[in-house]
Every structure is written in C-alpha cells, then in structure tokens.
Amino acid sequence: MPALDPETEPAEWDLAPEGVAAARLLGPLLPADAVLVSSDEPKALSTLAAAAPGRPVIAEPGLREVERPREPFDREARLAYVAGRPPDGWEESAAVAARVEAVVARHRHATRPLVLGGHGMAFTTWLVSRGLVRDPAGFWSSLRLPDVVETAV
C-alpha cells in the first residue's frame, strides 16, 4: 500500500511501511536472474526495490498508471476503464497498451526473464490488448497490493 497523502499527486506517493513489508514477501517469487523494470512512480519503484534488494531496477515512464484527472478513488470509474469504457478525460486504452508494449520490447532479453513493476489498470489494459485477460474487471478486481502475475510475452 502507498502512503496516502491528499496534498500530493498519487503518482508521487511512495510506499507506506506496511507496503514495504508486503513487497519484501514477493522476493522469493522473482527469478534471481531477471531484468527488473519498473514504472518511474515512487510506489512502483519502491515495491520492486523492496522485493529485490540490492538488484538494479530500471525506471520506465512507459509503465506509469493510466493518466486520468485527479479524483478520489472511484472504483466504478476504474472498473469501467479496464472494461473498455474509459471515463471522459482518461488516457486512451490503446495508448496505454502501446506504451507498455514498447517497454516490453525495449527490455525483453533473449535469455533472462523480464519482471515489470507497475500499476493495475495499466497492466490490465496491456494484458487485455494481448488477449491474455478475458474478464478485465474481474482480473483487475482480484489484484492485491502488491501482487505478482506471471505470463509469457
């Protein structure tokens, strides 16, 4: 979980102490030889850094969460977004999928696994674009903070 701060943009939030502790539990799930690439948002970078202490993490703006107007957490708007009905003013789904795909293409390695750290709506949108998620709202709703999803890309 991030350290919520109503005075700061959510994209600038870092992890709360319990978020760091939860991220550390992910470490054993990550391949030891993986290329680690994260959204450049502090909460995502901190999650991957806590899960893989001492290993280099590449920061990528292309893995940022969906751009949207600042809003109080609106679950229904987020569910509509991942289901393909973006609210007015939200980043187009195709643009999100394209920027995540570009990061994957840039960092895919011939012999090492790729681990991406990022955000639920952006990753759900990308996975849907690749035909890997058939129930986007159900998939997004089932994500935990933090979580690991393994897929072949």
| CATH number, domain with residue 137 | 3.40.50.1240
Domain count of the fold of the chain: 1
Is residue 95 one of the residues assigned to a domain? yes
Is residue 149 one of the residues assigned to a domain? no
Residues 6 or more apart whose Cβ sits within 8 Å of residue 1: 15, 16, 18, 19, 22, 145
List pLDDT tens digits, range 49-108. Answer: 999 999 999 999 999 999 998 766 789 999 999 999 999 999 999 999 999 999 999 999
Is residue 147 one of the residues assigned to a domain? no
Is residue 148 one of the residues assigned to a domain? no
CA angle (135, 40, 46) in 5-degree steps = 90
Residue 12 has pLDDT above 90, yes or no: no
Is residue 14 one of the residues assigned to a domain? yes
Backbone angles phi, psi at 115, to 5 degrees: -115, 125
pLDDT at 127: 96
Domain that holds residue 97: 10-142
Give the strand pairing for 58-60 and 114-117: unpaired
Please report, as a single letter, which amino acid is at residue 47. Answer: T
Is residue 58 one of the residues assigned to a domain? yes
Q: How far apart are CA 66 and CA 52, in angstroms?
A: 25
Is residue 125 one of the residues assigned to a domain? yes
pLDDT at 72: 65
Q: How far apart are CA 141 and CA 152, in angstroms?
A: 21
Is residue 39 one of the residues assigned to a domain? yes
Backbone angles phi, psi at 82, to 5 degrees: -65, -25
